[in-house]
Structures are given as structure tokens and as C-alpha cells.
Structure 1
Amino acid sequence: MPAATEIRLKRAERLLEVAFDDGSRFALPAEYLRVESPSAEVQGHGPGQKVTIAGRREVGILRVEPVGHYAVRIVFDDLHDSGIYAWDYLHRLGREQAERWTAYERDLAAKGLSREPPRRKG
């Protein structure tokens, strides 16, 4: 199981750069991390219960907090903070980014949803 050796938050670019001890490096957009959160709120409590999170194109990351020596907790600016991103999950998100993103966009379209945040009334 690869372990993270460096984590760099790039707030302005809304990116989390992660390097692993196997030599791999990934630039993971905040929106991607948010919609793929390992939290029960997103993944559900069992197979087939994953929720499609829409409207997060502009989501940012407020902070990244260590969880032991095996994971980080990401606090997003939409106040979602319940996902614990273990090193193996972050590595998998990096490896599978293209396929997962394509599936996410397809799922949004099938459900008539959008990446755009809801417009505020006022």
C-alpha cells in the first residue's frame, strides 16, 4: 500500500497535490475530491448507495488535517468535513481519476444535474 510522502494544498488552483513513496504524483482537483469523498454522506452505507453530488464546480479546500500516519481529513469550503482520505484511497483516486470523472459527468447528465453551483437569490 503506497504511503503519501508529500501533500501540498494549492488553494488558488483548488488542487491537492499528493506524492507517494512508489514515485507516483497526482494533482487532485477539490471538486473531484469532494464528489468522491469517502464519507458515508457521499458513499452511503453499502454497495449501490453512492450519492451524486452536484453543484460543486467552485468548491475549495479550507484545510487538510492529518489523521494518524495513514490518512488526511479534508475540510471543504462548503463545510463538508466528514471524509477520511486514507493513503490507499487517495492513490486510487489518482490512478482512476479519468475513469471516475467520466463516470461522474455521465451520472450528472443522466440525472439532469449540473456541476454549476445553485444561483443565490437576492
Structure 2
Amino acid sequence: MSSDSKYGVASGLNPRSLYQQAGRPACTDVRYISAEKRLDVAFEDGKQFTFTAEFLRIESPSAEVQGHGPSQKTLVPGRRHVGIIGIEPVGTYALRLKFDDLHDTGLYSWEWFYDHGHSQDDLWQDYLQRLEARGLTRDPRAR
């Protein structure tokens, strides 16, 4: 994967034509900046969200992380340095992100990106508080 990867018309994925879920605006651009370990996602209403790979990993929509209900959500510590090694379109509604810790089971819908973009500050603060309460950190354990 190049240092800057764009997922759009060039790769056969046209986010603009894909995202009309739940009355939310269409996605117009998705770009991964590997040097900064961040994914930038833009929508037709002008909203642009930047997600760190760490945030995407710890908030993965997979059952492994989210469980099968809010009370089953798993706290994922030690992912400060995680990166994304692959991004694949899934149909016309989502992306599958592959992380360098080998997690790849979450499907990130355009709706997920839009909603989490709006709530990511609160979700991040909640994550940090939960880590602290359990005596855990964002840093990987020494082996």
C-alpha cells in the first residue's frame, strides 16, 4: 500500500454513489495517510472526519469488540501504534479494514463513519477513562 492511499473511482469504489444510508449524506472521499496512521473521510454535506487507526481499531464494529450488545463491549488496550495494512470495499455499503495486529473482522459502514465522526471525541474520552479505571494503557505490553 502506498503512503497515501485513496479509495475512490480509481480503485473501482465510488463512495459518492454508495452512501445513502439512513438519510445521511453521501461519502465523497476516503483517504488513508499511512505515515500518520489516519483515515480521512469526507461527505457531501462538507463534513470531514479524521480517524486515527487506533480509534478505528478500539471502536471496531466487529462482534469481537462490540459483543452482541452494549454491555458486552470489549475494552481493547495497547493499540497506540496500530496501523492499517489493508482497506477493501464490501459491497456498496462498507469498508473492511485490516490492521497490523491482524484484526480484520469489522465492517465499517458509511453510516458508521458519519456517526462516529460526530461522536468520536466523547467515545475517545470514555475509552481513556475506562482504561484508567482498569489500570490499563494505550501502550502495548512489553514482552
Matching residue of 2:102? 79
Deviations 1:34-78 (A, max 9, x none): 000000000001231000000000000001110111110100000
1:33 aligned onto 2:56:
yes
Matching residue of 2:134? 111
What percent of counterpart residues are identical? 53
Q: Tell me the distance in 2 between the aligned counterparts of 1:35 and 1:3.
A: 25
**Number of residue-to-residue matches in the alignment:** 120
Instruction: Tell me the TM-score normalised to structure 2 length.
Output: 0.81
Q: Tell me the distance in 1 between the aligned counterparts of 2:70 and 2:120.
A: 20
Instruction: Tell me the TM-score normalised to structure 1 length.
Output: 0.95
Runs of 4+ in 1 over 4 A off after TM superposition: none
Deviations 1:67-100 (A, max 9, x none): 1111101000000000000011111111111111
Decide which structure has the larger Cα Rg and report it. 2
Matching residue of 1:97? 120
Amino acid at match of 1:34: R
Q: Tell me the distance in 1 between the aligned counterparts of 2:53 and 2:89.
A: 17
1:3 Cα shift?
Answer: 2.7
Tell me the secondary structure at the aligned position of residue 56 of structure 1.
coil
More helix, by proportion: 2
Which structure ranks higher in relative contact order (CA pairs < 8 Å, sequence separation ≥ 6)? 1
RMSD: 0.9
